[in-house]
Structure 1
C-alpha cells in the first residue's frame, strides 16, 4: 500500500495499519467526543472499552518486521511486547509463568513511552554480535568436550535467536552443532538455555520423540574476537535430514504424506501424555534431581494474561475486544481450570521438523520456548488446521484428520486427541467450538494475525451486520474509543516524523521500496 492509502499506528514492532475509512470515522467521532467533554458531557463508556483500544489492521504485509520476526515463538514475543509497550515485566515471563499476578495482568497493554529500535537497527546489532564470533574459539570449545580430538567448523547458519556452527569430528559429515544465543536481542538468554536442556532431557527420559542429544552447555566460553566477557552456548548432535518443506509435503506421494501425518500425530500423542499440575516452562531442578520444576498459575489467569498481551500488541477494531475476550474465556472449560496441563512445543513449524527424503521425521528441534499449557490450547499446528493465512491448505487438514481417525483405532491417546480437538459429534455446534479453539490458539501463536482471524473466521458468527457497519456503529457509540483512535493517529504521525528525521525505515522491505522509488525518480523510470 502507498503512503497515501495507509496510516501506521504505534511503534515499529507493532507495525499497525488503520483502514483509512475506519480512521476517518474514528477521528470524526473523536472530535465530537472532545466537544462533548468541553460541554461537560459524562463519558459513560465502560472502562474496558478504553483499555487497549483497537483499530483495523488492513494489510498483513505491514505487520511485525521480517518473516523471521513474525515467527517469533510465543514466549519470546511476550517478552518483546513487555519491552516495547513499557508495561511492567513479568519477572521471569519467558521461563516461569508462576509470577504472573492479577495486577500485572491488568496493566498489560499500556502505551510505549519511547520509540523502539527498527528492524534495521535490530539487524545491525544482531549482525555485529554474529560477526564478532571467532571460529577458532568455537572449534576450541568443541575440543573441550570431544577429548581433544580433531574437529573443524564446516558450516554456519543464523536463526532469529541463535548463531549455529556445525562441527565435523574427524573426516565425516558434521556431527555437532554449537549454538550461541544472540544475547543482545534476547531477554534472559541463560534461562532459555536451561529450559531447553531441561525439556530435551525430560523428553529423552519419558518419550520416544526424536530430539537432539545435548553434549554440553554453559556460559563461560570466550567466543568473540573483540567483545569482552564470556558467552553462552549449547552443544548438541546434528540430526540428519532437512527441515520440512511444506510445498514438498503437499506435492509428495500420498503414502509418504500420510506416513508423515501419522508420525506427527504420534509425537503430539506422546506430548499429550505428559501432564503437569502447573503452567510454566520446564527448568532444571536446583537440587540436581532429574525431575524438572515449574511455576504455578491457573489456566484462566494464563488466558487473561495472554489475551492482555495480544490486545496490547494489536489495533484491530476496538469493538472486537469484548468479542474476542469472551472467546478466550470460553476456550477454557472451568471444570478443567486447575489442570492438568500439557507440554507443548509452541513452534512446531517446518523449520523445526527434520525429515528425510521420504518425509520420515528424524527429529524435532528448538525446544527453548516449550512450556506446559491448558489442554484446550494444545492443538494441531495452525498450518495444518488452516488458520495460518500464509500457509493454508484445506485438503491438508482433512487428510490429517483422516490419519488421526485411523491411528485412533490402535492408540488410546490418539483417540483422546480426536475427542479433545474435534468433539464426539459432527454437528455444527461442535464444529464451531473446534474452530473457535483453533482460532484462539493461532492468535496466541501469531498475534499479528488477530485481525485477519477475527475477520475471516469469527466476524460472521459473532456479528449481525457487515464488518464495516459494525466498526462504524461502534465508533459512533463509543467516545472513549474515538478519542483513543485520535490519540493513536497523532502518535502515529509523531513516529513517522521520527523515522523521516533519522533516515530510518520500519522494516527492511520499507527501506528497499524507498530506495527503489528514489532510483526510479532519479532516472525517470516508470
Structure 2
C-alpha cells in the first residue's frame, strides 16, 4: 500500500523539504513595515497597524491590518511563490475572476476584493490581493463533532445553498476563468492542488496536459479530460520516486493502477456527458475555507485559487462531513456507511433547497446517481493521484468477481501477461529503496548539521533519474543486481528484459517517447 500524506503534502519529502526551506526564506524576506505601507497606499494613505498575528496557509501568507481612522479591517494576502509549481499570475487572476463572478451571479458569501495586483517580478509584494476581513470562526472537524441538531441543519442548509448555486454556473469548456470582452470565459488550462504538487516534484504534468488541449488552449470533452487524468496519474506513479516504498509491493501497486483504470473506463465514466455540463467548482471547499457564525451559518467562502470548471462527474459533495480522510473512505464498507448516513442526510437538505429555490432537484438527482460504484471516490482519486492505490485496493478490488482469485494470484497473473510489467514493478521498488536511503541521509544531516539541502539537490531531478536508472541496466559497470524477480516471475530471457529496460529508460528520459510502458 502506498503512503498518502494528505492533499497538501508532497509525495516526495525531499522535494518538500527544499520547497519549505525556500518558502521560509521567502517569508523572512517580507518586511512587515512594507506590508503596512502597501495597505496604507490603497486606503488614501491612512495609518494602519496589525490587529492579529499573520497566518500562513499552504499557498499564501496573510497579514491582518486595521486602519485607525475608520476602523476598517483588511487582509493582505501574498502568494507563497516557492509553493507554486504553476504561474503565480494565472493563479491570482483566475481566483479573482471566480470570486467576482460568484459574487455577481449568486448569493454565495465571498470576501470583497479591494485591490489585486499581479506581476512577473519575483519580489514578495509584487503580487497580492487585498480583501475585506470577515470575522467569525473557521469551521473545524472538532466543532463539527459537537454540532447540535439545529446547528447541523443550519450548516447543511448553508452548504447546500453554496453547492446548488455553483452547479448552475455552466460553461462550454473545462479550465480556469478569464475576464475578456466584458464577460467571464474559460481561457486558462485547468489546475488543481494535485497538479501543483506534481509540478513541484518535476513530474512533467503540464506537458501531458498540453497534449490534450485544443487550439485555443482549452478542453471541451469530458471523455478526453478523463483520458488526460488517467495519463497524468499513471505518469505520476511511474516517475515519482516514492510511489512504491515497500519491498515486494511494486507488482501489487502496479496492478492496482491497472484495475483502477479499467474500472474508470468500463464502469465509472458516463460517456453521454462528454459535451457537458461543465460547471464551476471551488476546488478546495473544505472546513478551513469556510467561516461560520455562532449559529453555524456559512458567512464567507475563502480561497478560490484552485477554482476551475469541471465535468459534472467531478462536481462532488463534501466528503468531509463524516470527518474522515479520503483514504479512510476508500474502504467499501466505510464509503457505503458514508452514503447511508452523512450523504443521505445532506442530500435530503440539498433536494429541499433546490426545490425551494429552483423548482427542480437537478444536483440532488445527479449526486444520487453518481454515488453508486464508488463514484465519488473515483472522481476524487482521478484528481488526487495518491488516493488511487487506496481506492483500488479498498473499493475496486472488492467489487471484482470472487472467481478471479485472491489478490496474490491476480497480481501474479497480471505480471505474466506483459514482459514489461514485472520489470517496471522491480524498478519502482528500487526507486523507493534509493529514495528512502536518500531521505534517511537527509534527516540525519538535518538533525546533526542543521544545514541546507545543497548536497541532496545534486542527486535530484534529471541527474538522479539518469544515474539511478542507468546503473540498473545490464550493461552498467556498477555492481547492481539484475532484476531477478522480473525474470523468475515471467520466465523472460535476459534479452527480453534488456529490451524492457531500454524502453523504460527511454521513456523516463523522454516522456513523449513511443516506448511508454503500458499497463
TM-score (norm 2): 0.68
Distance 2:125 2:70 in 1: 30
Q: State the Cα distance separating 1:311 from its structure 2 match.
A: 2.2
Aligned with residue 271 of structure 2, among 334, 339, 353: 334
Are residues 1:207 and 2:106 paired?
Answer: yes
1:307-386 to 2 correspondences below 5 Å:
307-314=230-237, 315=243, 317-329=253-265, 330-384=267-321
SS, match of residue 74 in structure 2? strand
Distance 1:203 1:408 in 2: 18
Deviations along 1:220-275, whole A, 9 cap, x unmatched? 699xxxx9686211101112212211232232111110221111111100001111
1:242-321 to 2 correspondences below 5 Å:
242-285=137-180, 287=181, 289-294=182-187, 295-314=218-237, 315=243, 317-321=253-257
Distance 1:293 1:171 in 2: 41
SS, match of residue 58 in structure 2? coil
Aligned with residue 8 of structure 2, among 50, 58, 69: 69
1:170-181 to 2 correspondences below 5 Å:
170=68, 175-181=73-79
Aligned residues, how many?
A: 391
Deviations along 1:133-173, whole A, 9 cap, x unmatched? 11110011111111112211232000111111111122787
Aligned match of 1:151: 48
Q: State the Cα distance separating 1:366 from its structure 2 match.
A: 0.7
Higher-RCO chain (CA-CA 8 Å, sequence separation at least 6): 1
TM-score (norm 1): 0.68
The runs of 5 or more residues in structure 2 that have no matched partner are 188-217, 238-242, 244-251, 448-519
Structure 1 vs Structure 2 CA RMSD: 3.1
Aligned match of 2:487: none
Deviations along 1:337-376, whole A, 9 cap, x unmatched? 1123000012111111111122110111111111111111
SS, match of residue 348 in structure 1? coil
Indicate how the Cα distance of structure 1 residues 229 and 397 shifts in structure 2: closer, same or farther if over 3 A, else same: closer
Are residues 1:416 and 2:392 paired?
Answer: no
Indicate how the Cα distance of structure 1 residues 384 and 434 shifts in structure 2: closer, same or farther if over 3 A, else same: farther
Deviations along 1:447-470, whole A, 9 cap, x unmatched? 222222222222111243333443
Distance 1:173 1:449 in 2: 46
Q: State the Cα distance separating 1:336 from its structure 2 match.
A: 2.0
1:29-48 to 2 correspondences below 5 Å:
none
Aligned match of 1:488: 428
SS, match of residue 49 in structure 2? strand
**More divergent stretch after superposition (405-414 vs 240-249):** 405-414
Are residues 1:134 and 2:20 paired?
Answer: no
The answer on whether the counterparts of 1:119 and 1:506 sit within 8 Å (CA) in structure 2 is no
Aligned with residue 217 of structure 1, among 116, 127, 135: 116
Are residues 1:163 and 2:61 paired?
Answer: yes
Indicate how the Cα distance of structure 1 residues 339 and 405 shifts in structure 2: closer, same or farther if over 3 A, else same: closer
Distance 2:444 2:72 in 1: 40
Indicate how the Cα distance of structure 1 residues 460 and 355 shifts in structure 2: closer, same or farther if over 3 A, else same: same
Distance 2:364 2:93 in 1: 33
Q: State the Cα distance separating 1:204 from its structure 2 match.
A: 1.1
Are residues 1:196 and 2:95 paired?
Answer: yes
Aligned match of 1:95: none
Distance 2:29 2:435 in 1: 32
